[in-house]
Amino acid sequence: MSESEVTKGGVRAHLPGLAVTALATLAAAYVSDHYGAPLTLMCLLFGLALNFLGTDRRLDLGLSFASRTLLRWGIVFVAARVTLVEIADLGPIALLCVAAIVAATLTTGVLAARGLGFSGAFGALCGGAVAICGASAAMAFASLLGERRVSQAQLTLVLVGVSAASALSMTLYPVLAHQLAFSDLQAGFMMGASIHDVAQALGAGYAFSNPAGETATIVKLARVALLAPAMLAVALFIPREPGAKIASFVLPWFVLGFFGLAGVNSLGWIPPQVADLSASASKALLACAVTATGVRSNLQSLTAEGLRPLLAIVAATLVALALATGAAAFLIG
């Protein structure tokens, strides 16, 4: 296929890249289902294993579509998990604690990254992933920041780091909650307010007890609902180019769609079956986006800095855990 045939676009030109993405995602999902491994991590590993295909120009359009457009629709469909009425039931103190933890965690990511010699945009990517909902938030922030400020290699590194941290926290945090003699309410709040990915936060909560799992679910959804405000803050305070001034900001369509779907869902206008379908679609679309990101990543750039960039994720994770544990111990219950 000639270069002109690839670049002129059209449905047919997208098919090779989309086919590779879909097949690799299905293989990753099979491994995840049968061996209990995190889906995001498996998608990323399968994508990286196919990284040699990233230089094939015939796959460019499909891979780009999967890592960008499918990602944005996946973010919109995440809102099917969010019911603002349930979140409001947490009460004002718990909601204020969640908002403060998210803000502090995001800020820590930015400051830690700058202290390590990286850009504020990379720090926002790390902090946002830890503060909101792990890999899903990382993909959302990367879409907002753009590849000129956050490279595919940096995004891949953050996805690896946040997936590993989320899996580790799912194992360790319930043990910590037992050691601290937390009640079901306190344990659920602590895990819902600090664990990165949605699935791991819920898994840790229900590993402690069913009531703790229910609390962790609502607290985690409160963090997911803060995705759009957090993205707005990043867009306003992280300059588009080095040295650039803060410019006026128009909220991206997928963030508006997130707000709109969450509002409609909160009014009870979406039947449970449709909400479940939307949540499944979100999971599938985000999985495809992660796989395509792995295929498109530059492995040489990925390994150039070693493990040093992951320290920003570690710093944000420790701050989120400390604040969530403190709030659970002294303000919740």
Reduced to 3 states (helix: H, G, I; strand: E, B; else coil), residue 1 is coil
Q: What is the pTM of this model?
A: 0.75
Amino acid at 204: A
Q: Which of 314, 95, 121, 123 is nearest to 235 (CA)?
A: 121
Predicted local distance difference test score (pLDDT) of residue 247: 42
Cβ within 8 Å of residue 301, ≥6 positions away: 151, 153, 154
Report H helices in the chain: 3-7, 11-35, 39-49, 60-65, 71-78, 84-88, 92-115, 120-131, 135-145, 152-179, 184-194, 198-208, 210-225, 227-237, 253-266, 272-296, 299-304, 310-330
Q: Which of 21, 65, 16 is nearest to 47 (CA)?
A: 21
- Count of CB atoms situated within 10 Å of the CB of 218: 20
Q: What is the mean pLDDT of each run of 10 residues along the chain (333 residues)?
A: 47 90 95 84 86 86 88 79 74 92 96 93 94 87 84 86 85 93 94 88 86 86 86 80 47 74 83 86 87 78 70 96 95 76
Predicted local distance difference test score (pLDDT) of residue 251: 59
Predicted local distance difference test score (pLDDT) of residue 48: 85
Query: Which letter does DSSP use for residue 170 in this model?
Result: H
Question: Could you give the CA distance from residue 162 to residue 172 in angstroms, rounded to a whole number?
Answer: 15
Predicted local distance difference test score (pLDDT) of residue 146: 82
